[in-house]
Structure 1
Amino acid sequence: MSTAHASAIVVSDEIAEATAAGRPVVALESTIFTHGLPRPINEEVALEAEDIVRQEGAVPATIGIVAGTAVVGLSNEQIHQLSNETEVVKVSQRDLAVVAAKRLSGGTTVAATAFLAHHAGIRVFSTGGLGGVHQGASETFDESADLTTLAGVPIVIVSAGVKSILDIPATLERLETLNITVLGFGTNAYPGFYVTESGSWIEYAVDAPEEVAAVLRAQVDFGLSSAVLVANPISREKQLDPDEHARVIGEAWARAAAGGIAGNATTPFLLDYIQRATKGESLRVNIDVYRSNARLGAQIARAAALS
């Protein structure tokens, strides 16, 4: 568990009691509803994810920053507040101290959520997609802080891979360098978030939540400090059409280049273009991915609690 100062982080009574009793708990991030989804569906999806976790027999712990305080286990009222405030900032691990000092409210990224979940003793975290290595990173050094944070946080993270606008092969290479275990759930094909397969392959596959729980248990036994990433692909029936996906990604990059879009503006531009070009289908996939990962995360947490 992290040595973060207790006054900087508030853990809800429900989460504190559940972790103390060894009950299954699943961490959920907040940037998906503060920055990733439009209103009012953002709040609906946040609450639905919590409901899915409860239906699967686990306790949801949505994590966010409220007026400078990191909260592990946001209330419905706090989720409503963060979903509708206009001045909510995006908070990675590096931003936690600044946001606390300035008493800002924020949605936590994968990096910040994993850090705070580990502090609270939570072993499983469900998200949509991870950050990774960006296209052209060999020149720009543009790489998500998610990767380096996960190298030092021993938690299971369920995702549908990284967004397909990123450099997936390079991301997998960085994960290997950082000693982060990657497991494909039911497959050795690494998912491409919007599509079932990215074209990249991973060495290890697992077929049941109990197998993931066994890997987590072995990580603890060895004293390993890195995360276990479970790549949970969207089903073929729900994925974006792969041909359309490839076409739209190519168009998005071409439009970004023509418009001189660069740096931090690139990812929001590309994702917005993809959503508009697919007439909202990418948004539908985003939500389906999150539902599936919340469900699998709860199943893994339950299996880990029983082991």
Structure 2
Amino acid sequence: MTPIVRPSPAVAAALAESRPVVALESTIITHGMPWPDNLAMARGVESLVRENGAEPATIVVMDGEVRVGLDDGDLEKLAQARDVLKLSRADLAYGVSSGRTGSTTVAATMIGAHLAGIRVFATGGIGGVHRDAETSFDISADLDELARTPVIVVSAGAKAILDLKKTFEVLETKGVPVVGYGCDELPAFWSRDSGIATPIRLDSPEAIARFQATREALGIDGGMLVANPLPQEHEIDSATIGSWIGQALADASSNAISGKAATPYLLKRIFELSQGRSLASNIELVRSNARLASAIAVALASR
């Protein structure tokens, strides 16, 4: 492990003892939810991971280090921080070298997790191919990271603001296994259904752990995406969320919002249009993914 990657004492102890650890991203805290909901969500998810037998490791860049696991004081400090960088593969090293505070996207969290020796990561939804990417060329680095970094990413699919069909086509092209957990149709973040058939269906954490162990035995590089549908009682039907997404995209276009600013803007606008309903579903899907990721980490550790 590089000296600039620093696990917390709790995470370091868990890794040294080969106990299960689940990585958690920090962009959802700094850019995905407003204060104080972001802190309540982060604390709740970390507690949920512990309740399910694993050690949580929220990953963030602070004071020239990649911090892997935070104490409660640092978690609260992060939740209230302003002018926080949003870091991916391209600028993760810049965030460290500049001494700035930076939250980690899916790609950067995967890098930090792998450097620390963590094999499972729970998030809300991955990035992917943005709508109108044929003219903007806006494609998230998350997809390349899944193809190269051996971490299991548990999410509710890709964010529904994206072009989901193109996103999953790119993952297939890059050889990334996409596993539908207990579902025959891939989830679409706030909705359980996307209209896209599940390429591989597995119904237990043990089956996912066995699949990953077999990939490693065969020398197959890269990560795995586990798509975990939001519990039915918390989902937003596709027609309703689709109308909010359409309005948010139109607003982003009229305000010339693009690049890294696009996703935070769209999530905030959808929160406003839904009168907070999207945030409630977002919190529930993160909690659901944390539970499943913990179970997978436990199954991997038991092997």
TM superposition score normalised by structure 1: 0.94
* Matched residue type, 1:104: R
Out of 165, 189, 193, the position equivalent to 2:189 is: 193
Out of 89, 109, 116, the position equivalent to 1:113 is: 109
Q: Can you list the C-alpha shifts for 1:98-148, whole angstroms capped at 9, x where unaligned? A: 111210011111111111101111111000110001111122211001111
1:259 to 1:103, Cα distance in 2 relative to 1, 3 A: closer
1:24 aligns with 2:20: yes
* Matched residue type, 1:300: I
CA contact (8 A) 1:82 1:106 kept: no
Q: Can you list the C-alpha shifts for 1:167-223, whole angstroms capped at 9, x where unaligned? A: 100000110111111000001211110101111122211111111111111121112
Out of 281, 287, 305, the position equivalent to 2:283 is: 287
Aligned to 1:151, what secondary structure does the other structure show?
Answer: helix
* Matched residue type, 1:97: A
Aligned to 1:129, what secondary structure does the other structure show?
Answer: coil
Matches within 5 A, 1:229-248: 229-248=225-244
Q: Which residue of 1 aligns with 2:29?
A: 33
CA distance in 1, matches of 2:265, 2:81: 22
CA distance in 1, matches of 2:251, 2:74: 38
1:216 aligns with 2:212: yes
Q: Which residue of 2 aligns with 1:301?
A: 297
Aligned to 1:118, what secondary structure does the other structure show?
Answer: helix
CA distance in 2, matches of 1:189, 1:145: 24
Aligned to 2:190, what secondary structure does the other structure show?
Answer: coil
1:251 aligns with 2:258: no
Q: Which moved more, 1:89-98 or 1:254-263?
A: 254-263
CA distance in 1, matches of 2:125, 2:242: 18
Aligned-pair Cα RMSD in Å: 1.5
Aligned to 2:178, what secondary structure does the other structure show?
Answer: strand
CA distance in 1, matches of 2:256, 2:92: 31
Matches within 5 A, 1:92-241: 92-241=88-237
Aligned to 1:93, what secondary structure does the other structure show?
Answer: coil
Superposition deviation, residue 262 in structure 1: 4.2
CA contact (8 A) 1:27 1:113 kept: yes
* Matched residue type, 1:126: A
CA distance in 1, matches of 2:179, 2:283: 22
* Matched residue type, 1:110: V
Matches within 5 A, 1:59-78: 59-78=55-74
Superposition deviation, residue 157 in structure 1: 0.7
Aligned to 1:26, what secondary structure does the other structure show?
Answer: strand
Gaps in structure 1 of 5+ consecutive residues: none
* Matched residue type, 2:264: P
* Matched residue type, 2:163: D
Matches within 5 A, 1:35-54: 35-54=31-50
Gaps in structure 2 of 5+ consecutive residues: none
* Matched residue type, 1:84: Q
Q: Can you list the C-alpha shifts for 1:246-276, whole angstroms capped at 9, x where unaligned? A: 2222222333344454444433332222111
Out of 80, 87, 110, the position equivalent to 1:84 is: 80
Superposition deviation, residue 305 in structure 1: 0.9
Aligned to 2:301, what secondary structure does the other structure show?
Answer: helix
Q: Which moved more, 1:68-77 or 1:49-58?
A: 68-77
Aligned to 2:3, what secondary structure does the other structure show?
Answer: helix
Q: Identity over aligned residues, as a percent?
A: 44
Aligned length: 303
TM superposition score normalised by structure 2: 0.96
